[in-house]
Amino acid sequence: MIARLLIISGLLAAGLRADPFPSGWAAENMKPVGYSSLNGHGGAFKIVVRRVADKWYAYLGHFWESGWLVLDVTDAGNPKFIKFIAGPDNTNTYQVELHDNLLITALQQRPTNWGGDPKRPHDEGALIWDVSDPVNWKLLSHWKTGANGIHRIGYPGGRYFNAAATMPGFRGQILVFVDISDPNSPREAGRWWMPGQKEGETPARSDISFHGPAIISADGNKAYLGYDRSVVILDLHDISKPKQIGELTISPPFGALPAHDVLPIPGKPLLFLHGEATGGGDQPDGTPPACTSPLTIAAVIDIQNETRPRLMSVFPTPVPPKNAPYADFCDKGGRFGPHNTNLEYHLPDVEKQGDLIYLTYFNAGLRLYNIKDPRLPQEVGWFLPPPPVKRYGPLPYDKLVSQTEDVLVDSRGNVYITDKNWGLFIIRRTE
């Protein structure tokens, strides 16, 4: 069934001329390099990159279509679309994770407000691929949750991947570790959840859900994660029974999805934390306008004492360009606030994490911060994609404005960003 659904629907496109970089962008200390319209598959999301011999490849998940994209980004100024690999119908396929020759793609039931149909079949879980051939992937196995699937995956290489998974008998998504030492036969290795998420626990909690992923320490013995309203640190010496080391509650006062991601800063007892902004379009389904919920956090967390993490500093709020036709980003339309950062620094072909933080900010584009002084984060650059010219999906609900989604920086200094209604932008720092 999987093999039938996951058919190759694209064709090799080597030799095609580069897509022109769309006009209307704005930037500070950043510049455009290249752009791909993805051969009409606008609305890609999660990005991973890898170098194979003298070639560089980008693999992308997709928001509005079920499937994945393969691009040749050897020449960042001329990214070439190679193919689209179709996935199962009525299923979210926007998350991809990579290490060595294993690629893991998440499957989750597509919600109705994203174009899903609850009356049609959908797939769920995680697909494990062999990408030894970087263009012609080989499907090895399919691990299933037994429920609605996986929202996000983390895989730093080695024996285990982790997932934000819906599981039978639990409310919301929980943290699950999956053993892929034999990638042809994945099996669950352990799980952790917040008290109250398991059916039968009291008090019952239906307001907590793990977004993921967990970031694993280099020795594999600790996990750092944003778990809904909290920053959590876990001991993984026995991965079948993770134990909590420390926790910092983020909400209240901060709102939306308060603890979306955490990013450990190598060599320093620090985490970068950010939430995910919600809102953006006053719709019949109750979606509020942007900036009506409490402030969405982007901050530095001190973990020198891991049993008692503490808030060290909060990032400055992005300011529109001087000539913008809106007073602030709350008035622009769509979502405003943080969403994703460059979490893939475990990959050999991705820029290693240092003092620079790359943070997508929905309608405020990509923001670049320096945390050399972690008590005083400074914005040092930004890039605003131009307004979209075509709607590929139902979001944003209100105005058709840019919604910058994911970011990845390769070891050559190329910065890749995606948008809900654009293709793939490649930019670079100028300082």
Say if CB 25 and CB 402 are below 8 A apart: no
pLDDT digits (tens, 9 = 90+) for 350-385: 999 999 999 999 999 999 999 999 999 999 999 999
Mean per-residue pLDDT for 17-39? Answer: 96
Name the domain count of the chain. 1
Distance (Å, whole) CA 61 – CA 45:
5
Rg (CA), the chain: 20
- Confidence category of residue 283, pLDDT binned at 50, 70, 90: low
Domain contains 2: no
- In angstroms, the CA 402 to CA 324 distance is 14
CA distance 188 to 425: 37
Closest CA to 301 of 362, 357, 364, 240: 357
pLDDT band at 292 (very low <50, low <70, confident <90, very high): confident
pLDDT for 291 equals 87
Contact between 51 and 59 (Cβ < 8 Å): no
Domain enclosing residue 111, as ranges: 43-429
Residue 226: name the closest of 291, 272, 294, 158 by CA.
Answer: 272
CA–CA dist 278, 290 (Å, integer): 7
The answer to whether residue 20 sits within a structural domain is no
pLDDT of 6 reads 38
155 within a domain of the structure (yes/no):
yes
- Which residue has better confidence, 315 or 15? 315
353, 346 in Cβ contact below 8 A? no
- Please enumerate in sequence order all residues whose Cβ is within 8 A of that of 133, keeping only pairs 6 or more positions apart, or say none: none
Check pLDDT > 50 for residue 429: yes
Residue 53 lies in a domain: yes
- Where residue 5 falls among pLDDT bands split at 50, 70, 90? very low
Instruction: Determine the pLDDT at residue 191.
Output: 98
Residue keyed to tokens 């080391």 = 245
Contact yes or no for 210/152 (Cβ under 8 A)? no
Q: Would you say residue 249 lies in a domain?
A: yes
Residue 26 covered by a domain: no
Give the per-residue pLDDT at 284: 54
Residue 31 resides in a domain: no
Percent of the chain with pLDDT over 70: 94
Instruction: Assess whether pLDDT exceeds 90 at residue 289.
Output: no
Give the CATH number, domain containing residue 139.
Answer: 2.130.10.10
Give the pLDDT band of residue 288 (cuts 50, 70, 90): confident
Q: How confident is the model at residue 18 (pLDDT cuts 50, 70, 90)?
A: confident
Beta strands in 230-340, from DSSP E residues, in sequence order: 230-235, 243-249, 257-264, 270-276, 298-302, 310-314
Once rounded to an integer, what is the mean pLDDT over residues 24-43?
A: 98
Q: How confident is the model at residue 285 (pLDDT cuts 50, 70, 90)?
A: low
**What is the average per-residue pLDDT within 66-85?**
98
- Confidence at residue 280, expressed as pLDDT on a 0 to 100 scale: 77
* Cβ pair 409, 357 in contact under 8 A: no
Evaluate whether residue 30 is within a structural domain.
Answer: no
Of all residues in the chain, the percent with pLDDT exceeding 90 is 90
Task: State the average pLDDT over residues 141-170.
Answer: 98
pTM score, whole prediction = 0.95
Please tell me the predicted confidence (pLDDT) of residue 12.
39
Average of per-residue pLDDT across 170-187: 98
Mean pLDDT throughout 21-49?
Answer: 98
Q: What is the mean pLDDT of residues 185-203?
A: 97
Average pLDDT, the chain: 94
Residue 217 confidence (pLDDT): 97
Whole-number Å distance between alpha carbons of 168 and 163: 15
Q: 């983020």: which residue's tokens? A: 250
**91 beta partners:** 109
CA distance 216 to 55: 29
